Chain A
Amino acid sequence: DSGVTQTPKHLITATGQRVTLRCSPRSGDLSVYWYQQSLDQGLQFLIHYYNGEERAKGNILERFSAQQFPDLHSELNLSSLELGDSALYFCASSAGRSSGNTIYFGEGSWLTVV
């Protein structure tokens, strides 16, 4: 158990809908990262928050947004969902603000768009 908690574990929704994925980082970790993993693309970095502030953006679509709250949990909002958004979405956390710190992954949220 990495200590990173993600909910929900599984989610099935229709195209055009909006969903919110939630992540609680390991106790004491200030950084939260979001990744998308699909079969053909591998693990893709989406966005990084450190202590409530956005630090870096990766391949995150405009239809997606994220935030980190004062209690350090984070939410990833996915809107106007398309079939191609079906993937595993992972949250990871680390103690510091850079990738030099080891990051630990949650178990993921499996999103299926139908």
Chain B
Amino acid sequence: QKEVEQDPGPLSVPEGAIVSLNCTYSNSAFQYFMWYRQYSRKGPELLMYTYSSGNKEDGRFTAQVDKSSKYISLFIRDSQPSDSATYLCAMGDQTGANNLFFGTGTRLTVIP
């Protein structure tokens, strides 16, 4: 079983839709949860960073972490064509691991 599971999509939505992206994980030691956005052939760009459980909002983006279910989500409100990209979830623990575990990414297309 992979440490992090993410639906690869692809996901196509009309402009203005609410997008929900999700990841599940198996390691209960994970404490740090991140979402990265990656445009084609570009480096991943950090979107959201969350420590432990709860919600975090930044503009049109909301990140949710449910540690009891080992499930994290990224919601995008009023989606725009410029949101079309691959979204990667990432997570890590603080007990000595020095690398992040990444999902395989979900490719999102927002259609004008």
The answer to whether A110 touches B41 (Cβ under 8 A) is yes
The majority secondary structure among interface residues of chain B is: loop
Residues of B within 8 A of A55 (CB): 98
Q: Please, what's the 1-or-0 string for A79-103, where 1 marks a CB less than 8 Å from any CB in chain B?
A: 0000000001010000001111011
| B interface residues, tally (CB under 8 Å) | 26
User: Contacts A102-B46, A102-B49: A108 and B98 contacting too (C-beta < 8 A)?
Assistant: no
CB contacts between A and B, total, < 8 Å:
65
Tell me the bound Cα distance from A90 to B93 in angstroms: 21
User: Contacts A45-B99, A99-B98: A108 and B92 contacting too (C-beta < 8 A)?
Assistant: no
Distance (whole angstroms) from the CB of B59 to the closest CB of chain A: 18
The answer to whether A107 touches B43 (Cβ under 8 A) is yes
The answer to whether A56 touches B98 (Cβ under 8 A) is yes
Chain A residues 27 to 47 lying within 8 A of chain B, measured CB to CB, are 31, 33, 42-43, 45
* B45 within 8 Å of A (CB atoms): yes
The answer to whether A42 touches B49 (Cβ under 8 A) is no
Tell me the bound Cα distance from A39 to B99 in angstroms: 20
Residues of A at the B interface (CB closer than 8 Å) are 2, 4, 31, 33, 42-43, 45, 48, 50, 55-56, 58, 88, 90, 97-100, 102-108, 110
Question: What are 8 A-B contacts with C-beta separation under 8 Å?
Answer: A2-B45, A43-B102, A48-B98, A58-B99, A90-B43, A98-B92, A102-B49, A106-B43
